Amino acid sequence: MASIMTGCGWLFDLYPIRHGMQMWFLREDGEPVALWERYAPSFYVRGPAAMVSRALRTLRIPTTASRTERIDLWTGRTVPVFEVRVEDPLRYAGVVARLGRWEDGALELFTCGIPVAQRYCYDRHVFPLAWCAWEATDTGELRALHVLDDPWAVDYPLPPLRVLELKVEGELINPRHGHRGRLEVSWEGTTRLLDSEDPQGLLESLEGVLRQADPDLILSHWGDAWLLPSLRQLECRCQVRLPWNRDPQAAIPGRRAHSYLSYGRIVRREASQFLAGRWHLDAQNTFLLAETGLEGLLELARLCRMPVQQLARTSTGTAISSLQLLQAHQDGILIPWHKHQAEQFKTAAELLVADKGGLVFVPEPGLYGDVAELDFASLYPAIMAKFNISPETLDCPCCPDHRVPELDRHTCQRRRGLVPRVLEPILAKRARLKRLKRTASDPQACQTYDRRQTALKWILVTSFGYLGYKNFVFGRIEAHEAVTAYSRELLLRAKELAEAAGFRLIHAIVDSIWVHKPRLTEREVVDLADTISRAIGISLAVEGIYRWLIFPPSRTHPRLGVPNRFVGVFRDGTLKVRGLECRRHDTAPFIAQAQQAVLLVLAQAGTPNELARHLPEALDVLKASALQLWEGRVPLHDLAITKQVSQAPDAYRRPCDTAITAHSLLARGVRLAPGESVQFVITEARDSDPASRVRPLAWGEPAEGYDRAKYVELLLRSAETVLGPLGYDYARLEELIRPARKLGLGADTGGP
């Protein structure tokens, strides 16, 4: 009889193997422990018993089927189905695919599209990074697993991780585009450069590092798209096998690269390189890690029951959908494999009303003082929770009197919806984390709380989009429209209450309002927020009171402002910037830093009138930046402009900078995919030869340098955004920096 061993640790990694699930735990001292458990994932089938039996026999894969009942989401009634268990988890997806095609879709399949590791977490009530106690045989077979943790906890310990970083030395430039250098490996304060000119020596050195460091996390830069695939090609060529995986028998399939359309924008998802028993995270291929840090990523992994490597490479929409699928599974609801709900027909008049979206009051451009900003906390998710908006609760047969504003629709008051039940605990947890952040005295704890609440903010933001997402099984556009209808009504009500209290509305956009009142006090603003919160039933928080606030004019319509494009300084000295060049991803770093430097000077002003006193210093900062550009002293990587390729290189019809860069790379054998980012430097913007106008950053320093006049123009355009409302338009700024040009170019006295 096998002896039983016990232990405790964090559930670090899990993935399917032939007869179950392989799991890796990290003990308190960081020691990894490998255990496995027998597990047969299941799904549900609706169809005649004889047909189900015949279909399963033809598979010739060990499965079992039993009768059971589950709940239909739309009716709330139980329906008879067959639960089919697949003995080999590695063949689960194949079984589902073959049954789905059986006799041209004669069988209906449910709860079958959830990845096996994720489904295991649902079934076993466990989650990544959970602190667990286990009992296992001496051969590593898990006999009992006890979760001693709570995914809804706000304070929880995490394992000490050994981290190894991999990148090509030098600036962070995509090596797939031609940038080359030695391999830089860093761990525990040590950095080594491995010579790529000697492939055999490089692999042997890297093997030694991997064995010595035994990292839990390999953090790479462009590891998915280029670095790991290139190293694995070298392994094959040199017949060397690196110990990437702690589990030498594992072969976790990655994901292929693909491009897709999201909210009118082409997005590129690079191929994924997963490891077994340790994590590989590519810093250039993960939105969550970039936006929320490791703390935010791990918060969502725990909450959404998704393995860390997979979650890092998915969208926040996938994270919130996992929580909805989990709730449905726990409630015994059948999850359709494919969506069957089509959008209901609307007349043109109905569509005009239903499809308005969120309400926006466009600001008048200019300089303001005594302005307060108030924000609804997660307005759209709060509306879904408050008014019970969910696909199955809209237009129920039992509550026709609970009307949606403007729309000929109503929501149910008897049956609590799936979506509100998912959102309520997330909203509550985020509110707790924000309170802890405000009261934390330790800077590290404050940062941790902030990153965790930011991660929750992102899944709350996408919960609204997924409510109407055409491909999500629980998506319904009519529910999406009901949320925006309520939001318009609530924002109008907030405006009326503010005006009744003597405030003037300056700007409003969906879930935020900016109000003005001469010599307003903090007490007045807090009272206004409390009044609106009580009247509406959704919390309205005071973001702050501005010392001064600038709404720049639109470049195409100068008499109008641009929604959510402003800069201001709160009374506590905090600078807030939205929509300006220094916040845009396609602004050259030097231009962004110069604009930020100008703003930091202006931030010293305590009132709108004091701005004039700080203008000379701000203009000096601008002139110094212009002089650096004219003298050619700005490093190339600080001038790189990052753009996304919206289509295949040969599909472009005009020579815009992005198209020129894509064609230049294609000429050297690098084909960019739609949605992929590319960096380039402007070399001669007005050259008659398009190929000479820009140069890929990965190609290094061009002999001709950069186009100084063009970059000065970009600098002045960014300065005009801020200084224009203060009396310094582009022409005046251009005249101001003429001396800098003379210093930089000597005898040339022409304008830029």
Q: Please give the torsion angle defined by the CA atoms of residues 700, 701, 702 and 707, in that order, rounded to the nearest 10 degrees.
A: 120
- Range scoring the smallest mean pLDDT among 82-96, 126-140, 290-304, 353-367: 353-367
Whole-angstrom distance, CA of residue 684 vs CA of residue 384: 52
Q: Any idea what the Cα angle at residue 209 is, between residues 205 and 213, rounded to 5°?
A: 175
Question: 3-class secondary structure for 44-72?
Answer: EEECCHHHHHHHHHHHCCCEEEEEEEEEC
Closest residue by Cα to residue 584 from 632, 643, 529? 643
Same domain, residue pair 173 and 58 = no
Quick check: 249 pLDDT over 50?
Answer: yes
Percentage above 90 pLDDT, the chain:
82
Supply the pLDDT for residue 750. Answer: 39
For the chain, give the mean pLDDT: 93
Shared domain for 574 and 504, answered yes or no, is yes
- Confidence at residue 746, expressed as pLDDT on a 0 to 100 scale: 56
pLDDT at 121 over 90: yes
Residue 219 has pLDDT above 90, yes or no: yes
SS3 of residue 561 by DSSP: strand
pLDDT at 2: 66
Strands 504-509 and 371-376: unpaired
Question: Quick one: pLDDT at residue 740?
Answer: 67
- Confidence bin at 751 (pLDDT 50/70/90): very low
In the sheet that holds 183-187, the strands lie side by side as 190-194, 183-187, 163-168, 217-220, 279-282
46 and 80 in a single domain? The answer is: yes
Q: Which residues face 509 on adjacent strands?
A: 360, 512
Burial of 347 (C-beta count, 10 Å sphere; 0-12/13-18/19+): exposed
Residue 739 banded pLDDT, cuts 50, 70, 90: confident
Res 271: pLDDT: 87
This prediction has a pTM of 0.92
Burial of residue 725, with CB atoms counted within 10 A of its CB: 0-12 exposed, 13-18 middle, 19 or more buried: buried
Span between the terminal Cα atoms of the chain, in Å:
86
Question: Do 375 and 519 fall into the same domain?
Answer: yes
Q: Residue 367 is part of a domain; what is its CATH number?
A: 3.90.1600.10
Report d(CA 567, CA 605) in Å as an integer.
13
Check residue 752 and give its pLDDT.
Answer: 38
DSSP 410: B
Rg from Cα positions in the chain:
29
Helix axes 522-536, 477-500, angle to 10 degrees: 140
- Among 65-69, 216-220, 745-749, name the one with the lowest average pLDDT: 745-749
Residue 35: which of 46, 25, 49, 45 has the closest Cα?
25
Instruction: Name residue 654's amino acid.
Output: R
Kind of pairing, strands 163-168 and 183-187?
antiparallel
Give Cα 652 to chain centroid, integer Å. Answer: 28
Angstrom distance (rounded) from CA 588 to CA 59 = 57
Tokens coding 227: 């670095």
- Residue 641 forms part of a structural domain: no
Q: Which helix (H) or strand (E) element contains residue 13?
A: strand 4-17
**Model confidence over 618-635: pLDDT tens digits?**
999 999 999 999 999 999
Q: Is residue 705 part of a domain?
A: no
**CB of 694 closer than 8 Å to CB of 687:** no
Q: Which of 558, 579, 600 is the last residue before a domain boundary?
A: 579
Tokens for 732, please give them.
Answer: 């005046």
Tally of structural domains, the chain = 3
Q: Is residue 724 part of a domain?
A: no
The span from the CA of 632 to the CA of 637, in Å, is: 13
Domain match, 522 and 419 both: yes
Same domain, yes or no: 401 and 431 = yes
Are 375 and 279 part of one and the same domain?
A: no
374 vs 494: CA distance, rounded Å: 10
For range 646-666, the mean pLDDT: 92
Q: According to the model, what pLDDT value does residue 748 have?
A: 46
Question: Does the pLDDT of residue 340 top 80, yes or no?
Answer: no
pLDDT (0 to 100) of residue 745: 58
Residue 420 lies in a domain: yes
Q: Which helix (H) or strand (E) holds 86?
A: strand 78-86
Q: 68 and 208 in one domain?
A: no
By residue range, what is the domain housing residue 138? 4-147
CB 712 within 8 A of CB 682: no
Is residue 56 over pLDDT 70? yes
Range from 427-436, 522-531, 697-706 carrying the lowest mean pLDDT: 697-706
Pair type for strands 142-147 and 694-696 = unpaired
Residue 69 contacts residue 81 (beta carbons within 8 Å): yes
What amino acid is encoded at 676 in this protein? E
Say if residue 128 is in the same domain as residue 250. no
Output the CA torsion 412→415→420→421 (10° steps).
180
In a domain, 500, yes or no: yes
Please check whether residue 728 lies inside any domain of the structure. no
Q: Say if residue 152's pLDDT is above 70.
A: yes
The closest of 63, 45, 175, 26 to 111, measured between CA atoms, is 45
Residues 110 and 218 in one domain: no
Same domain, 222 and 187: yes
d(CA 305, CA 326): 8
State the pLDDT at residue 747: 40
Asked if residue 158 belongs to a domain, the reply is: no
pLDDT band at 118 (very low <50, low <70, confident <90, very high): very high
Average pLDDT for 291-306: 97
CATH number of 286's domain: 3.30.420
Residue 468, pLDDT score: 81
Whether the per-residue pLDDT at 177 is higher than 70: the answer is yes
| Residue percentage of the chain with pLDDT more than 70 | 98
715 falls within a domain: no
In this predicted model, what pLDDT tens digit does every residue of 401-417 receive, in sequence order? 889 999 989 999 999 99
Residues 362 and 324 grouped into a single domain? no
**CATH code where residue 69 lies:** 3.30.342.10
Assign 743 a pLDDT band (cuts: 50, 70, 90).
low
Give the Cα separation of 45 and 350 in Å (integer): 38
At residue 300, what are phi and psi to the nearest 5 degrees? -75, -35
